[in-house]
Structure 1
Amino acid sequence: MKIVIINSGSSSIKYQLIDMPANEVICSGMIDRIGLATSNLTYVTNAVKVEEALPVANHKIGLEKIAQLLMDDEIGVIKSTAEIDAVGHRVVHGGSAFSNTVIITAAVKDKIRQLFELAPLHNPANLEGIIVAEEIFSGATQVAVFDTAFHQTIPVVAHKYAIPNYLLTENKIRVYGFHGTSHKYVSENAIHYLKQNLVTESSKIVTIHLGNGCSMTAIKDGKSVDHTLGFGPMNGLIMGTRSGDVDQSVIFYMVNTLGYSLEAVNTLLQKQSGMLGLTGYSDLRDIEANAENGNVECQLALAMNAYRIKKYIGSYTAVLNGLDAIIFTAGIGENSSYIRKLVCTDMDYFGIKLDESKNEIRSRTIREINTEDSKTKILVIPTNEEIEIANQVFELLTT
């Protein structure tokens, strides 16, 4: 079964063509920096690698470019879209309507659209990917895999807010959690690694997903028990353009005293805050480069970013009553030795000791970057949300 996986993020599109059940990746690539002056495109097969810098204004243009490459006469990997059996889509917010992977229907698309307000940077891009894929791969079954599904195991003591009960029972306001496909994939790999290396049979781990969107999950014996993102993908860690945790009083002050509209506050917190608001840059590569050149604002923003991650490591160690490993993953987590060093410095009390030379090594495989005497493992595990999505799509369509 040939499955195209489309993972439309807030500023990127990752894609893979996977032959299942062999998990054979026929083609892969991504487009990042969507909406900026210059975007980067990669397209990789066993025979060719294409890298191109070009403007990609939005996700629709990006997906059309990807489809052209897949069917290119010289470097393409399919002759016709009829060769594609299914298209698996990552969808960020499933609300209370979706706790499992589903075949996409008109009703499913309507529900994803209704949830735009809860994930305004993601669900619109996810739905656009679905609509464009339906046009391009018209004979394929379209399937949605929801980020929120993995976090359905979060207990009520952690997922319920301290607001009137009817808001949960009637309006389904609760912690949903996000980046579930990534946290599920890397945690399963981490648990396998820990057991292989005779570290522990049970497991208490914290997964740290750092990209343009960021989140952390406390995972006990493979199940999500707490998570930094909540009702929408906005709180918790400092992100590319999102503020993360902020005192609710700030919102009322901005509206009632400073004269902001609610829409303006929402836009500010979702799209103009985070690292962008602190530095003027939303891409961490730009922020790190300026920090190394002495930019004080960028240096402070990176320190704030790491400080917030440290706070959650501490709180989740308490929730888990111990800690076997922390896992860094996603674009920043896998590639930024700078952030990893900031996070792991002065964390000896938690048994976290970073080996600085190992921290500088780059690899596409799971690796330890802790010292030999570190009580807690520090793992870098490349996430592969696309393989996780393919597995779930294949399971849905064959069982």
Structure 2
Amino acid sequence: MKKIIMFAVLAVAMAFAVSCAKEEGKKVDVEKVVKAPVEAAKVPDAEKPVAEIPADPNTEYVVGKSIYTGWAPWWYIEESGIKAKWEAKYGIKIKFKQFDYVPSILAYSNVDGAVHACVMTNMDALAMPALGGIDSEVIIVGDYSNGNDGLVARQVSKVSELAGHNIYLVDGSVSIFLVYRALMMEGNGLKVSDLTFKNVTLDSQIQNVYTSDPEVIAATWNPILMGIMNEPNSKLLFDSSKIPGEILDLMVVKTDAPTALKKALVGMWYDAMADMTAQGPKRQETIQALARSQQNRLEEYEQQLKTTRMYYTPADAVAFTKAPELIKTMDMIRAFYFDFGLLPGATSKDQLGISFPDGTVLGNKDNVKIRFVTTYMQLAADGKL
């Protein structure tokens, strides 16, 4: 029988449908949410070195992955031999397991602990595992979406024309945030209650729904976004290039997971980044492998990389993670999710804590569930992994 906490996590996947009902007759001042001042506490020694957490030699540590441009390197890492290299270095067994996107995060969020690490966005880390009570560290900030997430239609040409239309998106996913940001920036006063949302369970369903009905409007991400944009008469109403640095693509690991797992994953990642930026045939070979993993042609994947702001070096990723803009972004996101009913059961946006490398904590410092750390990326930058 599944544990109680899993029911709470599964409830998050349905929260978007619930929130739409809540929005009827309720007007939320979106601009006020975005511009509200950041209220945060400081906790000293936020990244003070901690004792090594040993790995169990009899455990195979499971890492969830899903199809997305910025996460394609995890396929390459396995097939290229990079994974085996870092497993041997740290004496740990690691299994990469592919899921659809939301199911991957639900598996990570399950209290049974069967998935130890998972790729996800910053807002989904808040809305699923953190809300479900899972204490996590963000050990890699891999990129931000700079056009990889989009809102696409055939029957309308502007966000302000969306009233009365059906918008399809993956239930409980980052796409909800994209729609809200589109409304705030280009909706001309359009409210959530003016829109009709239709939820699908799996990201792989979005393209089928879109292609089967010319009336469908879809919010999704690459490579699915590229696929539906290739349909005749498709128009890109809004994309994440208009909100740079907000939709972050992360590797999230349970805080109590072995230190060797965290170090090995970071080492693997930056080996792959080095191959992606190598000169000559090595880069071509690497990008070809990445394209295959996402079921793309080479030119398609290259185009998607142009809408992905990759942090190819650990030094760049550390600098982004330490910048004050990240705190402002996460404060905006938690306000959105609370005010729009996407944190079911939470009594305030401060119920959960989010910590940052400088010691800042948004929310409850005694209930921190998301920890942005630079410890392992800094080791990679210093050549000390």
TM-score, structure 2 normalization: 0.26
Higher RCO structure (Cα 8 Å, ≥6 apart)? 2
TM-score, structure 1 normalization: 0.25
